[in-house]
Structure 1
Amino acid sequence: MDLYLFAGIPVSDYQRALSWYEKFLGGPPTMIPNDIEAVWDLADGRSVYIVVQPEHAGHGLVTLFVSEFDEWSATITARGIEPARTEKYDNGVRKAVYLDPDGNEFGVGG
């Protein structure tokens, strides 16, 4: 069975969110299907998208696990985005939580 992930993040302002996610994810969207959505393919069969839904903006929670946590974190910081908080779990897993302009949480763990 194939499994694909297409995770949506509700935002209130398309241009503001588009700019932040381009910076956070390191480039322009892979696809812009219409004037209220933008999609980034993160890996084969794994995508994240923003969608203008002001009534739901700020309630999104996404966590991406990466094999090179330190490299990812350093790259995001180099782009001018700092985590709102960092976490370390008893099993050694670390997580950096970033907040987009609406307050949606995008975690990067590893």
Structure 2
Amino acid sequence: MIYEMTVQIRVSDFEKGRSWYQTLLKREPDFVPHEGFAEWELIPGCWLQVAEGEPAAKSGPLRLGVTNLDRERERMIKELGVEPFEIYEREEVPVRWGTIADPWGNQIGLFQYKDPHEMGERINAILGIEAQ
């Protein structure tokens, strides 16, 4: 039985990397067990680790669901200095999405459900809230 998940991203400059990811995630890490390593629990049982080291070539993207993709794109351009990125959409796909790279080349994708009801159902399922 799988009950938890952890994804690790490596950055060559840990202090800059930690600061960049704190800005991306809008909060301090949940766990810093030792120098050069920080973790955020993104949703229950799903952890993002940022570790000092050589970034893995051709890895990712790490995809993160957001409630407002347009607002997050503008915030990331302003606060993180990422290049403006295109938001894609296809009729047969239930989400809109875009992809950026952090300063170390790690790919990060953002997506938003097109149907607000479907997004609400996913959020409630993740949080363990029963449908009414």
Give the alignment of 1:92-107 within 5 angstroms: 92-107=94-109
Q: Which runs of 5+ in 1 are unaligned?
A: none
Question: How big is each residue's C-alpha offset from its partner over 1:47-74, in whole Å with a ceiling of 9 and x where there is no partner?
Answer: 11111222x3554421112344345445
CA RMSD of aligned residues (A): 2.4
TM-score, normalization: structure 2?
A: 0.67
Aligned residues: 109
Match of 1:24 in 2: 24
Greater percentage in helix: 2
Once superposed, which parts of structure 1, at least 4 consecutive aligned residues long, lie more than 3 Å away? 56-60, 66-84
**Letter matched to residue 96 of structure 2:** R
Q: Which moved more, 1:88-97 or 1:27-36?
A: 88-97
The 2-side partners of 1:84 and 1:51 are apart by 26
TM-score by length of 1: 0.78
Contact kept, 8 Å, 2:73 with 2:84, in 1: the verdict is no
The structure with the largest strand share of the pair is: 1
Instruction: Name which one, 1 or 2, has greater alpha-carbon Rg.
Output: 2
- 1:11 to 1:22, Cα distance in 2 relative to 1, 3 A: same
